């Protein structure tokens, strides 16, 4: 077997609208192409031995063992690779289940599609699955050690990919509320929501968290000071910088027992609690000094440690934190007890898991010593041995939910404290013997206030009810009903995408919003160019959706990007499909018009249920996309009598049509006239029918999203398809005694569309034509035929970039088309584009129209402008 290509999809795609994370592997089965699994001796047995858990794959039989029975009876290797790749991920802790395998037009070559959770792991699993199957084919088995290594690598990818537990809880909650999110490639920040409605988080800091509050909380002494001034009980203590201040400090806080801690520390580092001797105090001083220059000496308060979480002014959870400890069983040593405790699958390293493993360190030895134990002591039944003084989960502590126990007065106090420190998300540490009684009565204190408190102890406490604290944060960032998305209008089709995208952007501009749009020319925000180039892929879409200034996104979504990586957004409000015609055939394993329609249908199907799929009713392949759309459907049609539109309107549906020279919206029984085509410059005074179609699509998309007719009208009348604004789209230049038209048309459908305009020209029509070298021979012949039909005289040229073809070959094929056409059409070949254009312009007859379909629009326009055109216009001649 040979892997030809692996692609990673990240959004709605050809294979699935709902499953965005897929790896697509193009796989040549080579000698296995002719051999289903039952004809490979020992394969079934080898596979079952290597991966017995494949028994869980139901596959088409729909029952346990279903897939394996297919292997036994005979199935193709691509299909087996698919299941193995999925299983390898499952065995490494990634729950995936979606897969597809299809043979391509190249016999023996398959597309194997597998779901992933982590991109790198997905690609790895695809490769490993091929390796595993190949090994079983060749040797009858896959070495156990290899499999172990694969699984280990996959687990490592997964561990690297996982977000921290707090971030994870926030992201899950956002997903549950339908709020899209994206990782920001800096400082582990996460973007929630799109464009202007986005919010950011970094762990549990939000973009409402103020720097003043964070800095105050990080300074424990100032925190205590400000709380003390407000009458909040805090430990009595002072800050020292030198050893010789220690003795007096101890005295000032009322003598032993005391606590020494770094002034600005966290996670319990450098803290010693319950210091009751001078010797211990000296050691504690040194330990704290390692973390911070200034130290806090304060009274030690006995009691239990609580973490109170206040979000947006409301107490949302309380956890009691118990330091790392083991409980005796009367038989085992402390060392054994630690080992067993750590075997709990909930305990991981660091913050990765719900709990953290207990490690024995300097403080543990001290505590053991204080308690009169060693690691070898057999702990009596029920006896508790503490291995840490502080209760941080990250050092092996556990958390017990106490949310329902907290006394109302303590709730009031905690909420007040969060406000005083001025944190939207605050973790307040309270030491008290009983949280269900007011601190006033128990003599409890507020030890400190934490910015960016961890959520792990609340969402996954070791005991008690888990609290969905993430919900309060998300509700704070996006109050119920507030938008998190910006309108996304996605545009696809074979021809007219860029023009329609620009026009839609122009219409939305009339609503005083900042519009971000991507096209084959570049990315624009508020009509300023952000990046030049063919920017119709998902990265460009994401640039727009990440931009905090963008209020509306209009995204040209081309076939290439959809096939390569899926759409760059999870769903759109309006999905526009203009047309499906033969172009790019044979690329990306898309060989038929139906296949191509399925690719473009991704845009229609990604429209949200409360949004619209805007479909061309005159194009049966596009109209058919209504079947799979979950959104409402709105149709546009040049033909006012189109059956589909009529039936749709009768049922109260929304549509746009061209009737009696008007671009009009149909809404149920009502006809809302937008404007006469002759007043819409883009339509060249109504003489370019395909531009009318584009304008209908754009108007309908905007209207479906609630834009007023007046705004649409104003936009249609002011949108200039000038060479500056839409280079290469029907740019007409007046050169005095003749005209020149520059257009991008490069496939049969766009030639035909262009013909609709050109054939109305009264003077001589001269064409300068060619086509991209990677199209099929028959496509060139078709272009030739169409050119013969449209022009009185043709110059055939070629692109500078022949895309792998021998120079002159494409031109030859086009000439065959010209010659095969009914109409005799004089033609000549001038391969060099510049020469061809100049020759045509030099020899233009009075009143004629020279139509240039260039590779480089910029160059063509330069050549024309060198001849000082009177002006260029798109409206009337």
Is residue 462 a contact point for ligand ATP (CB under 6 A)? no
Question: Bridge partners of 326?
Answer: 385
Is residue 729 a contact point for ligand ATP (CB under 6 A)? yes
Minimum distance from CB of 427 to ligand ATP (Å)? 7
Minimum distance from CB of 291 to ligand ATP (Å)? 9
Lay out the sheet containing 849-852: strands in order across: 827-829, 793-796, 765-769, 849-852, 739-742, 731-734, 871-873
Q: Judged by CB, which is closer to Mg ion: 553, or 674?
A: 553
Q: By Cβ distance, which residue is nearest to ligand ATP?
A: 496
What's the token pair of residue 700?
């309908």
Is residue 750 a contact point for ligand ATP (CB under 6 A)? yes
Is residue 259 a contact point for ligand ATP (CB under 6 A)? yes
Q: Which 551-590 residues touch ligand ATP, going by CB under 6 A?
A: 558, 578-579
Greatest CA separation for the chain: 111
Report how far residue 615's alpha carbon sits from residue 493's, in angstroms, rounded to the nearest whole number.
Answer: 10
CA distances from 598 to 14, 212, 626 (A): 7, 54, 12
Minimum distance from CB of 302 to ligand ATP (Å)? 7
Q: Which 508-537 residues touch ligand ATP, going by CB under 6 A?
A: 520
Question: Bridge partners of 850?
Answer: 740, 766
Q: Judged by CB, which is closer to ligand ATP: 122, or 496?
A: 496
Closest alpha carbon to 81 in 14, 27, 154, 41: 27
Q: Judged by CB, which is closer to Mg ion: 298, or 448?
A: 448
Q: Judged by CB, which is closer to Mg ion: 397, or 784?
A: 397
User: Please, are residues 91 and 53 in contact by the beta-carbon 8 Å criterion?
Assistant: yes
Is residue 122 a contact point for ligand ATP (CB under 6 A)? no
Going by C-beta distance under 8 Å and a sequence separation of 6 or more, which residues neighbour residue 748?
581, 582, 583, 779, 782, 783, 786
Closest alpha carbon to 61 in 72, 46, 45: 72
What's the token pair of residue 869?
């055109």
Q: Judged by CB, which is closer to ligand ATP: 174, or 297?
A: 297
Is residue 782 a contact point for ligand ATP (CB under 6 A)? no
User: Please, are residues 470 and 170 in contact by the beta-carbon 8 Å criterion?
Assistant: yes
Question: Bridge partners of 637?
Answer: 657
Is residue 115 a contact point for ligand ATP (CB under 6 A)? no
Is residue 745 a contact point for ligand ATP (CB under 6 A)? yes
Phi, then psi, of 519 in degrees rounded to 5: -145, 180
Q: Judged by CB, which is closer to ligand ATP: 484, or 616?
A: 616
What's the token pair of residue 862?
């330069």
Is residue 394 a contact point for Mg ion (CB under 5 A)? no
Is residue 725 a contact point for Mg ion (CB under 5 A)? no
Going by C-beta distance under 8 Å and a sequence separation of 6 or more, which residues neighbour residue 713?
674, 675
Minimum distance from CB of 269 to ligand ATP (Å)? 6
Report how far residue 97's alpha carbon sits from residue 404's, in angstroms, rounded to the nearest whole number.
Answer: 40
Is residue 37 a contact point for ligand ATP (CB under 6 A)? no
Minimum distance from CB of 713 to Mg ion (Å)? 25
Q: Judged by CB, which is closer to Mg ion: 57, or 497?
A: 497
Report how far residue 545's alpha carbon sits from residue 524's, in angstroms, rounded to the nearest whole number.
Answer: 12
Tell me which of 135, 202, 266, 792 binds ligand ATP, using CB under 6 A: 266
**Helices and strands (H, E) in the chain, number of each type:** 29, 39
Minimum distance from CB of 727 to ligand ATP (Å)? 9
Is residue 264 a contact point for Mg ion (CB under 5 A)? no
Tell me which of 693, 723, 735, 836 binds ligand ATP, using CB under 6 A: 693
Minimum distance from CB of 350 to Mg ion (Å)? 18
Minimum distance from CB of 771 to ligand ATP (Å)? 12
Contact region with Mg ion (CB under 5 A), list: 252-260, 443-451, 649-657, 795-803: 443-451
Q: Which 297-356 residues touch ligand ATP, going by CB under 6 A?
A: 298-301, 305
Report how far residue 610's alpha carbon sits from residue 612's, in angstroms, rounded to the nearest whole number.
Answer: 7
Residue 353 contact, options ligand ATP, Mg ion, none, Cβ 5-8 Å cut-off depending on partner type: none
Closest alpha carbon to 697 in 617, 580, 596, 601: 617
Q: Which 466-505 residues touch ligand ATP, going by CB under 6 A?
A: 493, 495-499
Number of Cβ within 10 Å of residue 119's Cβ equals 15
Degrees, nearest 5: CA angle 573-575-577: 170
Q: Judged by CB, which is closer to ligand ATP: 487, or 561?
A: 561
User: What character string, x for contact with ligand ATP (CB under 6 A) and - otherwise, covers 650-689?
Assistant: ----------------------------------------
Tell me which of 175, 219, 329, 429 binds Mg ion, using CB under 5 A: 429
What's the token pair of residue 572?
């759109």
My answer on whether omega of the bond before 407 falls inside 30° of 0, hence cis, is: no
* Residue 56 DSSP symbol: G
Residue written as tokens 């002014």?
Answer: 313
Minimum distance from CB of 790 to ligand ATP (Å)? 12
Tell me which of 520, 630, 720, 777 binds Mg ion, using CB under 5 A: 520
Give residue 65's region: left, alpha or beta (phi > 0; psi -120 to 50): left
Minimum distance from CB of 500 to ligand ATP (Å)? 6
Number of Cβ within 10 Å of residue 208's Cβ equals 16
Minimum distance from CB of 456 to ligand ATP (Å)? 12
Report how far residue 183's alpha carbon sits from residue 287's, in angstroms, rounded to the nearest whole number.
Answer: 38
Q: Judged by CB, which is closer to ligand ATP: 160, or 441?
A: 441
* Residue 377 DSSP symbol: P
Give residue 290's region: left, alpha or beta (phi > 0; psi -120 to 50): alpha
Residue 597 contact, options ligand ATP, Mg ion, none, Cβ 5-8 Å cut-off depending on partner type: none
Residue 43 contact, options ligand ATP, Mg ion, none, Cβ 5-8 Å cut-off depending on partner type: none
Contact positions vs ligand ATP (CB under 6 A): 235, 259, 261, 265-269, 271, 273, 298-301, 305, 390-392, 429, 431, 447-448, 450, 493, 495-499, 520, 558, 578-579, 690, 693-694, 729-730, 743-745, 749-750, 753-754
Contact positions vs Mg ion (CB under 5 A): 429, 448, 497-498, 520
């Amino acid at each position: 077997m040979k892997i030809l290509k692996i692609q990673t999809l990240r959004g709605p795609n050809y294979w699935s609208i709902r499953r965005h994370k897929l790896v697509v592997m193009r796989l040549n089965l080579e000698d296995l192409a002719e051999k289903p699994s039952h004809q490979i001796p020992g394969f079934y047995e080898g596979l079952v031995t290597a991966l017995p858990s494949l028994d869980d794959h139901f596959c088409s039989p729909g029952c346990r063992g279903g897939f394996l029975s297919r292997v036994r009876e005979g199935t193709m290797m691509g299909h087996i690779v698919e299941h193995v790749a999925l299983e390898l991920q499952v065995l490494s802790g990634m729950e995936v289940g979606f897969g597809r395998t299809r043979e391509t037009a190249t016999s023996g070559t398959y597309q194997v599609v597998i779901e992933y959770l982590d991109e790198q792991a997905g690609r790895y699993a695809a490769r490993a699955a091929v390796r595993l199957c190949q090994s079983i084919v060749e040797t009858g088995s896959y070495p156990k050690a290899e499999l172990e290594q694969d699984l280990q690598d996959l687990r490592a990818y997964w561990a690297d990919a996982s977000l921290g537990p707090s971030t994870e809880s926030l992201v899950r909650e956002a997903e549950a509320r339908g709020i899209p999110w994206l990782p920001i490639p800096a400082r582990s920040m996460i973007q929630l929501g799109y464009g202007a409605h986005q919010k950011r988080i970094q762990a549990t800091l939000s973009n409402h968290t103020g720097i003043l509050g964070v800095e105050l909380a990080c300074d424990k002494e100032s925190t205590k000071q400000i709380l003390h001034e407000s009458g909040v009980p805090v430990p009595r203590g002072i800050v020292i910088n030198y050893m010789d201040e220690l003795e007096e400090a101890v005295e000032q806080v009322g003598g032993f027992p005391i606590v020494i801690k770094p002034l600005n520390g966290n996670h319990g580092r450098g803290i010693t609690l319950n210091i009751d001797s001078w010797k211990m105090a000296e050691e504690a001083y040194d330990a704290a000094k390692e973390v911070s220059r200034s130290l806090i000496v304060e009274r030690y308060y006995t009691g239990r440690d609580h973490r109170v979480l206040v979000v947006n002014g409301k107490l949302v959870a309380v956890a009691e934190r118990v330091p790392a400890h083991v409980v005796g069983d009367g038989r085992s040593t402390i060392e054994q007890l630690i080992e067993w405790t750590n075997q709990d699958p909930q305990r991981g390293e660091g913050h990765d898991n719900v709990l953290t493993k207990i490690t024995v360190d300097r403080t543990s030895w001290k505590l053991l010593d204080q308690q009169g134990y060693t690691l070898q002591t057999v702990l009596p039944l029920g006896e508790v041995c503490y291995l840490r003084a502080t209760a941080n989960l990250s050092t092996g502590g556990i958390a017990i939910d106490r949310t329902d126990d907290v006394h109302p007065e303590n709730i009031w106090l905690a909420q007040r404290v969060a406000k005083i420190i001025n944190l939207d998300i605050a973790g307040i540490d309270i030491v008290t013997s009983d949280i269900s009684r007011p601190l006033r009565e128990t003599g409890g204190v507020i030890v400190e206030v934490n910015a960016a408190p961890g959520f792990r102890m609340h969402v996954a406490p070791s005991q008690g009810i888990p609290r969905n604290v993430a919900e309060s944060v998300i509700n704070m960032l996006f109050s119920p009903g507030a938008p998190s998305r910006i309108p996304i209008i996605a545009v696809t089709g074979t021809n007219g995408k860029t023009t329609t995208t620009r026009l839609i952007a122009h219409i939305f501009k009339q609503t005083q919003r900042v519009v971000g749009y991507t096209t084959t020319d570049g990315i624009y925000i508020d009509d300023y160019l952000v990046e030049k180039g063919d920017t119709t892929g998902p990265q460009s879409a994401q640039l727009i959706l990440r931009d905090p200034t963008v209020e509306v996104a209009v995204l040209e979504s081309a076939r290439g990007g959809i096939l390569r990586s899926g759409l760059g957004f999870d769903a759109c409000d309006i999905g526009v499909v203009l047309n499906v015609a033969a172009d790019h055939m044979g690329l990306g394993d898309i060989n038929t018009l139906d296949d191509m329609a399925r690719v473009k249908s991704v845009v229609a199907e990604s429209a949200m249920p409360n949004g619209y799929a805007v479909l061309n009713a005159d194009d049966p392949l596009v109209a058919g996309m209504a079947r799979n759309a979950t959104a409402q459907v709105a149709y546009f049609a040049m033909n006012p009598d189109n059956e589909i539109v009529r039936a749709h309107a009768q049922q109260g549906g929304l549509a746009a049509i061209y009737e009696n020279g008007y671009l009009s919206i149909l809404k149920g029984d009502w006809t809302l006239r937008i404007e006469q085509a002759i007043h819409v410059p883009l339509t060249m005074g109504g003489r370019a029918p395909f531009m009318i179609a584009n304008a209908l699509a754009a108007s309908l998309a905007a209207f479906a999203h609630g834009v007023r007719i007046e705004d649409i009208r104003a936009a249609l009348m002011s949108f200039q398809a000038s060479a500056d604004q839409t280079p290469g789209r029907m740019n007409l230049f007046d050169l005095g005694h003749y005209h020149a038209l520059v257009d991008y048309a490069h496939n049969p459908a766009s030639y035909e569309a262009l013909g609709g305009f050109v054939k109305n020209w009264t003077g001589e029509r001269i064409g300068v034509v060619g086509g991209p070298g990677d199209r099929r021979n028959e496509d060139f012949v078709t272009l030739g035929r169409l050119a013969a039909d449209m022009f009185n005289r043709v110059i055939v040229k070629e692109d500078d970039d022949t895309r792998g073809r021998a120079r002159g070959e494409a031109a030859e094929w086009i000439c065959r088309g010209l010659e095969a056409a009914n109409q005799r059409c004089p033609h000549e070949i001038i391969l060099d584009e510049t020469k061809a254009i100049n020759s045509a312009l030099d020899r233009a007859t009075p009143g004629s129209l020279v139509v240039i379909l260039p590779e480089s629009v910029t160059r063509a326009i330069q050549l024309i402008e060198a001849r000082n055109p009177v002006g260029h216009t798109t409206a009337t001649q």
